[in-house]
Amino acid sequence: MTQPRGSAAKSAALSAALSGAVDLSALKARAEAAQRQPAPPAGPAGGDGPPRPASGDAVIDVTEATFQAEVVERSLHQLVVVDLWAEWCGPCKQLSPVLERMAAESGGAWVVAKVDVDANPRIAQLFGAQSIPTIVAIAGGQPVDAFSGALPEPEIRKWINALLDALRDKLPGIRDAEAAGGPVEEPEDPRFTEAEEAFERGDFAAAQAAYERILDVEPANELAKNALAQVKFTARAESADPDARAKADADPSDLAAQLDAADLDIAENDVEAGFKRLIDAVRRTAGEDRNRVREHLVALFDLFDPADDRVMKARRDLASALF
């Protein structure tokens, strides 16, 4: 059983709010005013001010003064993905390296325009960003799609590929990059290959150990975290007593049956039933038994997108049951 973890509803709402509704030229006047100020001392290369990034750079640091040229005008030729971030933002530090690596692999089909919202608050206000990280795709001088939060890499790749497919005939930079050889194929990570092969042959203990080794070295690796949660769940669900639901319904005090039954519910995509079963068990129990049920339920939440309506409702119900 695999469940997507993307912030689909939240991203759709953000995209709808942005698409065709944000006037990016609002920053143009500010940029032109900044350009009329006395030029700063020449940079190390002897030019006027700090050297501008080359047009082929995959990652660009953008300010209000450079937004018009580096985002709006550049987006007439290639897809620009604006990354609204801040130094203090933990999820930003997980997401930004993924975007930057993927942009570098694209061979120039798209670029990341990084905006420090603390230093450039007007840009964040322009997009109406309520939280960070917020990622906005710009094409033809206008926002075309967006999402917020640190999504897993597979979902980001799917999002980018859909944008490239939709914009290929409109942005020559995409066609030029593909004609020049296209995206650089990312080499397989042998650590993930080992874990995936173990999972496919049903060796869940080996798969779990492989993902845990990755996390020992990279504690923030979201792909490994998500995969580990899936491995642990699959191992439990496959070893669960097939009669657990009947036993749990017949004897609500049978805690082991309740836990197994909830796993079977989730495995068969009866998500609300699985969550409700454990929340009811939390209400009936106390002490160590209650903590055992709560931990099991929280582990099930980790299989889903935090913005999933079913998860959000279950979290509220859990809080009510606990307090």
- CA–CA dist 148, 135 (Å, integer): 6
Tokens of 152: 């897993």
Q: Which residues contact 151 (CB under 8 A, 6 or more apart)?
A: 5, 6, 7, 95, 159
User: Annotated catalytic sites, by residue?
Assistant: 89, 92
DSSP state letter for 254: -
Beta bridge partners of 115: 84
Q: Which residues contact 285 (CB under 8 A, 6 or more apart)?
A: 255, 293
Q: How many CB atoms lie within 10 A of CB 204?
A: 18
Q: Which residues contact 311 (CB under 8 A, 6 or more apart)?
A: 275, 301, 304, 305
Residues counted in the chain: 323
**What is the pairing mode between strands 142-148 and 110-116?**
unpaired
Name which of 184, 223, 7 is nearest 101 in CA terms: 184
Do the beta carbons of residue 197 and residue 211 sit within 8 Å?
no
**Largest CA-CA distance found in the chain, in angstroms, rounded:** 82
What are φ and ψ of residue 182, in 5° steps? 70, -175
Give the residue carrying structure tokens 């993927």.
Answer: 102
* 3-state helix vs strand vs coil in the chain, percent to 5: 60, 10, 35
